[in-house]
Amino acid sequence: MTFKAFMSALAVSFAVPWFLIIVVPYAKMRDLEPVHFEQDSDGRDEVYVPRRSGRISTGSAVYGANGCYVCHTQMIRKGFAGSELGRPDWAGFRVQDESGVSINTSRETTPYDFVGEEFAHVGIMRVGPDLSNVAGRVQKYLDHPLTKADSPEGWLYLHLYNSALKTVTLNNKFGCPRQTHLFKEQPRVGQGSPNAVPGLENDGMEVLPTGNAKALVSYLLSLKKDDAVPYSINYSRDKKKAE
């Protein structure tokens, strides 16, 4: 086998998969067609524009730099590949829709859910819970009578600072490691600074979140991916049964 034949065979055996599973899907996913709500099936006729508010790009960078993706995932897999959809409060919530009927807003992750981020932190190991709908869960933890935090940001600051604190989920010792580097402690002067984290005052010290902590919490509170999607990418059973 001559050198030239060997090199070209090597190049071809690499080029085909490189082109088919990297370049083509990259180009196709980049120009994704936006899906439309249809009048007959969704009751309104407009384009589905995914909306996320909050400091998504900086927060996503802080999320990546601190390795949150090592233990947390952000993907609700489709039914045939995983059963996150069944787990309560992971893919969506039980809410009363406008006509008072309690519906389950769980749905799979769609390509439109990572809008505003450069890199989807899909995650490596799922030691901690999936974070696709963490914003909704935090809201529910706040409704628990014993939680110390008064706002979603407050709960998340408490959790990041010391997840062993009995905010609401009964703690076990392999909880989320303490992210104390995201906070700074300072002596409490007078009645303390307004943006100190409530519930963390002890013996004259108060804890303030740094810029990174605020960006991260704002990013986490933007993670709510259970909004209604158009009929064409809505795979729920009762909808399909309706036909």
Partner 1 sequence: MAHSKDSENQRPDLEDSTNVVEAHASLLATGAAQSRERRIEETGMEPVSLWVFLGSAIVLLVGGAVVGAGGKLFNYDPHPTGYVRPEYISDADSGPTIGPIMEALMKRGKNIYTKCSGCHGSSGAGDGGNRPPLANSEWVTGSPERLAMIILNGVKGPIVVDGKTYGADVMDGQGPLTADELAGIMTYVRNSFGNEVGDVVTPEQAAEAIKISNVRAGAHMSADELNANHDKALEGDPIDPSTPVDFETLKPVEASAPAPAE
Partner 2 sequence: MVTDTDSDTALQKDLELRARIDRSLRHPVMFFFTSGAAWLAVAVLLGFISSFKSHDSTFLANLGFLNYGRVYPAHLTVLIYGWGCQAAFGLIIWLMARLSRKECTSVGVILTAGHLWNFGVSVGVLGILAGYGSGRPWMEFPAAVWPLLLVSYFFITIWSFIQFRCSEGGKTYVAQWYLVAALFWFPWIYLSAHLFVFVFNGHPVMAAGVNAWFKYALIFLFFTPVALGTAYYLAPKVTGRPVYSYTLALFGFWALAVIGPWAGMQKLAGGPLPQFLPYLGAAATVLILIPALAVGVNILLTLRGHEAEVTASPSLRFTIGGIVSFVILGVMGLGLNTPASLKMTQFSLAGYGFEVLAIYGFFSMCAFGGIYFIVPRITRREWLSRRFISWHFWLSLYGIGTVVVCSILGGLFQGAAQEAYNAAWSDAATRNYAYNVGTTVAWGLIIFSSLFFLLHLLLMWARLGRRSQHPTLLKGDHHEDSPHGPDGDLDELQTAEA
Partner 3 sequence: MDSANDNPLKRFSTFWVGLVLFAAFGLAGLVLGIGFNKPVKNGYDEVNSERRETIREEVDKTHAGARDMADKSFERVGAVYLESAPVAVEKPEFILPGSATQLGKASGGTGVKVPAGFPEVAADAPIDPAVMAKGQALYAVCSACHGPNGEGMYHINKTGPPLADSEWVVGPVANLIAIQFRGLNGTIEVNGKSYTPVAPMAPLPLDDESVAAVLTYIRNSFGNKASPVTAEQVKAMEGEKGKPMLSPADLIPPK
Q: Which does 49 bind (CB under 5 to 8 A by kind): partner 2, partner 1, partner 3, none?
A: partner 3
The candidate with the shortest Cα–Cα distance to 227, out of 93, 118, 120, 99, is 93
Q: Which does 39 bind (CB under 5 to 8 A by kind): partner 1, partner 2, partner 3, none?
A: none
Distances (CA, A) of 33 to 30, 48, 200: 9, 10, 48
DSSP code of residue 81 = G
Instruction: Decide whether 53 or 232 has the Cβ nearer to partner 1.
Output: 232
Structure tokens at 143: 């409704």
Instruction: Decide whether 189 or 238 has the Cβ nearer to partner 1.
Output: 238
**Is 184:210 a contact under the CB 8 Å cutoff?**
yes
Q: How far apart are CA 147 and CA 118, in angstroms?
A: 34
DSSP 3-state helix, strand, coil percentages of the chain (rounded to 5)?
A: 40, 10, 50
The candidate with the shortest Cα–Cα distance to 106, out of 94, 120, 123, is 94
Q: How far is the CB of 177 from partner 2 (least distance, A)?
A: 5
Q: How many residues in the shown chain lie near partner 1 by CB under 8 A?
A: 32
Residue 163-192 contact track with partner 1, rule CB under 8 A, x = bound: ---x---x-x--------------------
Instruction: Decide whether 137 or 221 has the Cβ nearer to partner 2.
Output: 137
Q: Which does 237 bind (CB under 5 to 8 A by kind): partner 3, partner 1, partner 2, none?
A: partner 1
Residue 96: helix, strand or coil by DSSP?
strand
Cα Rg of the chain (Å, integer): 23
**Is 121:64 a contact under the CB 8 Å cutoff?**
yes
Q: Is 5 in the site for partner 1 (CB under 8 A)?
A: no
Instruction: Decide whether 49 or 170 has the Cβ nearer to partner 3.
Output: 49
**Is 113:50 a contact under the CB 8 Å cutoff?**
yes
Instruction: Decide whether 139 or 236 has the Cβ nearer to partner 1.
Output: 236
Q: How far is the CB of 7 from partner 3 (least distance, A)?
A: 7
Site for partner 1 in 17-36 (CB under 8 A): 20, 24-25, 28-29, 32, 35
Site for partner 1 in 110-139 (CB under 8 A): 110-111
Q: How far is the CB of 31 from partner 3 (least distance, A)?
A: 5
Burial class (CB in 10 A: 0-12, 13-18, 19+), 60: buried
Instruction: Decide whether 28 or 87 has the Cβ nearer to partner 3.
Output: 28
Binding interface with partner 1 (CB under 8 A):
20, 24-25, 28-29, 32, 35, 78-80, 83, 85-88, 94, 107-108, 110-111, 144-146, 166, 170, 172, 232-233, 235-237, 240
